Amino acid sequence: MTLLVEAQHICVRYNDHTAVNDVTLTINKGEIVTLIGPNGAGKTTLVRAILGLTPVSSGLLTKKPALSIGYMPQKLQIDSTLPVTVNRFLALASRHSRNIDDALKLVGIKHLGQKPIQAISGGELQRVLLARAVLRQPELLVLDEPAQGVDITGQTELYALIKQIRDQLGCGVLMISHDLHLVMAATDNVICLNQHVCCSGHPETVSNDPAYQELFGQTGAAQIAVYHHHHNHEHTINGEVVACQHDAPSITQKENS
Amino acid sequence: MPDFMIYALLGGLGVAAISGPLGCFVVWRRMAYFGDTLAHSALMGIALGLLLDINMNIAITVVCIFIAVSLVILLKQRQLASDTLLGILAHSSLSIGLVAVSFIEEVRVDLTGYLFGDLLAISPTDLAWVYGGAIAVGVILAILWKPLLMMTIHEELAKVEGLAVDWLRLVLMLLFSIVIAVAMKIVGVLLITAMLIIPAATARRVSNTPESMALNASLLGMLSVVLGLTLSYYFDTPAGPSVVVSAFILFIFFYLARPQKG
């Protein structure tokens, strides 16, 4: 197993505020590591520190030499004065236009290639960024809340897609998520963060950990409850109805009725 | 056509050609106010050039680069909103320049020429500076086009993907400084930003790739120069402002006439 990133006791401080405190973690090739934690827990700060966008105040951060990184930021706002189509945006990452079509097909948005990048929805943009990451064939894929603004069905699909990309590229994945239950199936290692590491390990271990339950509250820990139903069909991203391809996602359910 | 008109035309066309692609970056990166501040500080460059008796173009470029780098550093500390800070610096540097120039008594300085441009007084030497600067800026832009574009789309994404973003930003500042130095003679410190952003903003209406927008901005700028100089020649209007008025008329025309592309 190749070690991609190793953080030892890293802290990130802004003035008097400690955003990330004494965090130790490793990311290996082929491994999906998910950071979860409440708002303001320092998840994004930790990710930015690992990416080299925010300086580390103390501790040791080592990366595999010449590590190639694919990054999906939380928001990607492109000024509307810049005329860029999805294809062009992807072409800036790759030299072969044939690969671009393949990448778009893989993430299920082949029909969006000619559209201006400012004209597509948030969920579609997340897929474009995934396609871009695939094109660059990175050793480490970093995703900051990849499912933001995507509905529940879409989220499950997106996480499955991330897992599929990991299998295909054999890359390591570091992602931030709010919802352990949704990412469970596609995660090898969960780190529950609240400035420091509350608990970490296999997703099922973490969800039963007292520290996790304390952080999210008993109800929060079993939160998914609200509304869930089984579909007898699915929609492609352009809205066409297709037959169900996989069983309903393994989500902990609480029956309310 | 008299010689001075031919020089004016050639000088104006050269500046407009290079202002096109660079102006697109000003529009894309929302740097209009930044460019304005930089242009205003060029007057300090003139004062320096007169005091030290060195070439004006070099003095202006050096002062602009210095101001640009200081601005980038100042804007990083977030005590004041950036538009406030730029507003303070734009007008302070303009005033410092004006005060400094007034101290130099032995030289009669034509301030209006520096503020609004003196297109009709362009000499062959000035032309050499304009075209030398334009070619240098054009070559650097062409070589660094792809990374500059990527940085403009998303700076952090570009940085994570391994581009030397800080260095690229510095290069862009250098290019601005050169263009301001050579464009000053043509449109003056107060109107340089107009030559950068008006043709670029007009070009957005008719372009669907970054490259075509850059090219269209150049062509629209050159058309503005031709129209402006014609206006100036027949109606004896000031040349620099006439060029800007022409660019503005084109802008209005394209915004009313065509829906936005892509």
Q: Is the pLDDT of residue A218 over 70?
A: no
The pLDDT confidence band at residue A257, using thresholds 50, 70 and 90, is very low
Contact residues, chain A, for B161 at CB < 8 Å = 69-71, 93, 136
Q: How far is A22 from chain B (nearest CA, A)?
A: 24
The closest of A201, A198, A203, A169 to A186, measured between CA atoms, is: A203
Residue A249's pLDDT is 42
Q: For the ranges A164-173, A225-234, B220-229, which has the lowest average pLDDT?
A: A225-234
Residue B78 in contact with partner chain A when CB distance is under 8 A: no
C-beta pairs of A117-121 under 8 Å, 24+ apart in sequence: A117/A78, A117/A84, A117/A85, A117/A86, A117/A88, A117/A89, A118/A78, A118/A80, A118/A84, A120/A86
Across the strands, what pairs with A32? A173
Q: For residue range A53-102, list pLDDT tens digits in order.
A: 988 999 899 999 888 898 888 878 888 899 999 988 988 876 666 688 88
A88 contact residues in B (CB cutoff 8 A): 209-210
Q: Is residue A110 within 8 Å of A153, Cβ to Cβ? A: no
Chain A CB contacts of B157 under 8 Å are 71, 73, 76
Q: What is the ipTM of this complex?
A: 0.80
Shortest CA distance from A75: residue in chain B: B154
Burial class (CB in 10 A: 0-12, 13-18, 19+), B223: middle
A83 touches chain B (CB under 8 A): yes
Mutation choice for B interface testing from A5, A44, A54, A84 by most B CBs within 10 A: A84
Question: Between chains, do B210 and A82 touch, taking CB under 8 Å as contact?
Answer: yes
Q: Which two tokens stand for residue B66?
A: 């210095």
* Any A CB within 8 A of B27 CB: yes
- Write down the pLDDT at residue B19: 94
Give the β-pairing of A189-194 and A32-36.
Answer: parallel
Mean pLDDT of A167-184: 84
Q: How much is the mean pLDDT over chain B? A: 88
Contact A52 B30 (CB under 8 A): no
B153 vs A85, A89, A116: nearest CB: A89
Lookup result for tokens 């951060």: A61
Rounded Cα–Cα distance for residues A129 and A10 (Å):
28
pLDDT of residue A223: 45
Which tens digits make up the pLDDT trace of B79-138? 778 888 888 888 888 898 888 888 776 666 677 888 888 888 888 988 999 999 999 999
Please tell me which of the candidates A71, A82, A142 has its beta carbon nearest to residue B153. Answer: A82
Closest Cα in chain B, distance from residue A180 (Å): 26
Which residues are CB-neighbours of A1 under 8 A, at least 6 positions away? A28, A29, A30, A31
pLDDT at A256: 42
pLDDT of residue A156: 82
Asked if the C-beta of A89 comes within 8 angstroms of chain B's C-beta atoms, the answer is yes
Considering only CB atoms, B153 lies closest to which of A51, A68, A78, namely: A78
What ranges in chain B are assigned the alpha helix state H?
A: 3-28, 32-52, 56-76, 82-103, 111-116, 124-153, 155-160, 165-187, 192-204, 210-235, 239-257
- pLDDT (tens digit per residue) in B200-228: 999 999 999 999 999 999 999 999 999 99
Interface membership of B210 toward A (CB under 8 Å): yes
Contact A92 B146 (CB under 8 A): yes
pLDDT the model gives residue A239: 57
Q: What is the percent of chain B with per-residue pLDDT over 70, rounded to a whole number?
A: 96
